[in-house]
Amino acid sequence: MLTGSVPGLMVDLANYVTKDLYTSMCTRYEGPFTGKLSIEFFKDASSRDPYWEYTVEIGGKLILSEPKAFSGKPGSTMRGRFDGAAIGYKVWEDALKLNPKLKTQLAFHKLIAPPPTIPLPPDEFGAVFNTAAHPLGFQVGVSAVRKGDQVIVNFDEAAIRDMSPKFNRALLIHVFIAGMIPAPNYQTLPMQDAHYILSRGMRKNALLKLSTKGKEQHLTGNFVRKEDTGDILLNWKVDVDICNPACTVSSIQRMSAWYDAGQAKRKQGKK
């Protein structure tokens, strides 16, 4: 029992020491975010008849930090990143609408898509390990500037690491009968990545509003956006709520809970 818990305990201890040193130098906002992109593809702009639709949902935590010497001052700069992964997909297609004559030759049809629900990886081993190990994990860097009771966020030009295109996609299989010979056809249906979902959903100069709830300072933002090109319809939704102290359960809190539990057992043993 104890042996099995040692690796996780050592990781939490390392995180505790690192974060304790980090928080002595920087003010850190940390908390959850969710993002969603839904896209419909139409045969043409006039008919608005869809032949392919998909939704990608992502989630995780956003971290923003600033040096304590400049904390809370207007114009102070912040750096941070979105650490997360895909958490669900919805995919539908009727691609043969683009060539209805092929339906008479269709013998087999299958759409292979990512799961509708995917749990987020645990953060015990840290964001770098999780995003490297998770095929649909990502890290998207941002910079920010304080302006009054708002923080203005802008995205880096590219993600630090993004969801693997080998997994962030669907596979469409058709088998047609041409004469007496089956003719299989494979099509990859790629989907947009996390950097696209977040940066296009929040846009440039995204505003997070500062508010105080008890002892916590919150930076929140809710972003809804729609884009219609005629033959493609896109809908974004991104929600952010980060706090100082952190909204999420951190390794420091887990370490504190472990210590408190040990102290309680010692007190019980002395009775």
Q: What pLDDT digit, counting tens, does each position of 127-171 carry?
A: 666 667 789 999 999 999 999 889 999 999 999 999 999 999 999
Q: Work out the percent of the chain whose per-residue pLDDT is above 70.
A: 75
- Region of 215 on the Ramachandran plot (φ > 0 left; ψ -120 to 50 alpha; else beta): alpha
pLDDT confidence bin for 34, thresholds 50/70/90 = very high
Q: How confident is the model at residue 253 (pLDDT cuts 50, 70, 90)?
A: low
Above pLDDT 90, what percent of the chain?
61
pLDDT surpassing 80 at residue 20 = no
Whether 13 has a pLDDT exceeding 50, the answer reads no
Question: Between residues 28 and 196, which one has the greater pLDDT?
Answer: 196
Q: Cis link prior to 245 (omega < 30° from 0)?
A: yes
Looking at per-residue confidence, does 249 or 251 come out higher? 249
Instruction: Output the pLDDT for position 8.
Output: 45
Region 50-77 average pLDDT: 83
Give the pLDDT of residue 124.
Answer: 53
Which residues, in sequence order, are CB contacts of 142 under 8 Å at separation 6+?
A: 62, 64, 79, 80, 81, 82, 153, 154, 155, 156
Q: What is the average pLDDT value for the chain, to the nearest integer?
A: 83
258 pLDDT more than 90 = no
Length of the chain, in residues: 271
CB 203 within 8 A of CB 154: no
pTM attached to this predicted model:
0.79
58 touches 197 (CB < 8 A)? yes
pLDDT tops 90 at residue 9? no
Q: Sort strands 77-93 and 50-67 into parallel, antiparallel or unpaired.
A: antiparallel
* Predicted confidence (pLDDT) at residue 257 exceeds the cutoff of 90: no
Give, for 94, the enclosing helix (H) or strand (E).
Answer: none
Query: Which of 43 and 21 is assigned the larger pLDDT?
Result: 43
Q: Which residue has the higher pLDDT, 258 or 177?
A: 177
pLDDT band at 120 (very low <50, low <70, confident <90, very high): confident
4's CB contacts (< 8 A; 6+ apart) are none
Q: What is the DSSP letter of 241?
A: E
CB 55 within 8 A of CB 40: no
pLDDT over 70 at 25, yes or no: no
Q: Is the pLDDT of residue 117 over 60?
A: yes
Rounded Cα distance, 232 and 155, in Å:
24
Better pLDDT: 199 or 213: 199
Q: Which two tokens stand for residue 174?
A: 């058709």
